[in-house]
Homo-oligomer: A and B are copies of this chain.
Amino acid sequence: MSENKNMPKPTLPEPTLRRLPWYLAYVRLLEAQHIEYVSSTQISKEINVDASQIAKDLSFLNLKGKTRIGYQVSLLVKKLTDFLGFKSEHKAFVIGVGSLGAALIQDVGLSQYGLKIVGGFDIDKKIVGTSVCDVPIYDMSELEQRQKQQDVSIAILTVPVEHAQEATNQIVSSGLHAIWNFTPFRIKVPEGIVIQNTSIYAHLALIYNRMGEKSDKKIKG
């Protein structure tokens, strides 16, 4: 995929990829305040990541800070935004337009991060044919045909958990390449399909547990 096939493509570790959006969020704030330069030490203080780690992460994007001056803020914003894919347009379908699916269609934040939801799919005849925020809701049986027409790559999976695997199979056979799984079910896909699990309900369990809920008593009881 690289332009220069002789140069090995740098492999970006996932932890780096997870940190880059934090840097971006912070330098965007600096940019809004018309601050021109920022050092890795300063970023480090703000977001609680080691300065040397930040320098290393940014070096993956060929970004190097200047001695005593640091990084140019506007360049950081631009390079990070580009690199993270937030400027490109990525088309997506929402599979399962229940309350979470509809909520994601309504979230304008996603479009600011490069995600364009162009259709929703459901099996419920009551909502098929309607639309949410101008996004049309189709019958699940039309998935393959619509995918071909609109060349959509990403499926956002928000069906009830008991339909998660079945919907996944249909998504894969319809030619979509990536599944953003919001269900708590561990879906299985063939090799080559990208999966990102965002189990918001599992995050709730983490919060409850750390808050020291009465779970101990319950297990022992």
Contacts and interface: CB of A to CB of B under 8 A. Distances in A.
A71 to B, nearest CB: 15
Contact of A194 (B153, B162, B196, B211): B211
A201 B113 CA distance: 7
Contact of A215 (B32, B85, B213): B85
Which secondary structure characterizes the binding site on chain A?
helix
A212 B161 contact: no
A43 B98 CA distance: 27
A191 interface: no
Interface in A205-221: 205-220
Interface in A100-118: 100, 102-104, 106-110, 113-115
A62 B216 contact: no
A180 B206 CA distance: 10
A46 B3 CA distance: 40
Given A62-B220, A185-B25, A205 B107 contact: no
Interface of A: 1-4, 9, 12, 14, 17-18, 20-22, 24-26, 28-29, 32, 46-49, 61-62, 79, 82-86, 88, 90, 98-100, 102-104, 106-110, 113-115, 153-154, 161-162, 177-178, 180, 183-186, 188, 194, 196, 198-220
Given A186-B47, A219-B79, A212 B1 contact: yes
Contact of A205 (B17, B98, B178, B202): B17
Contacts of A4: 220
A73 to B, nearest CB: 15
A26 B61 contact: no
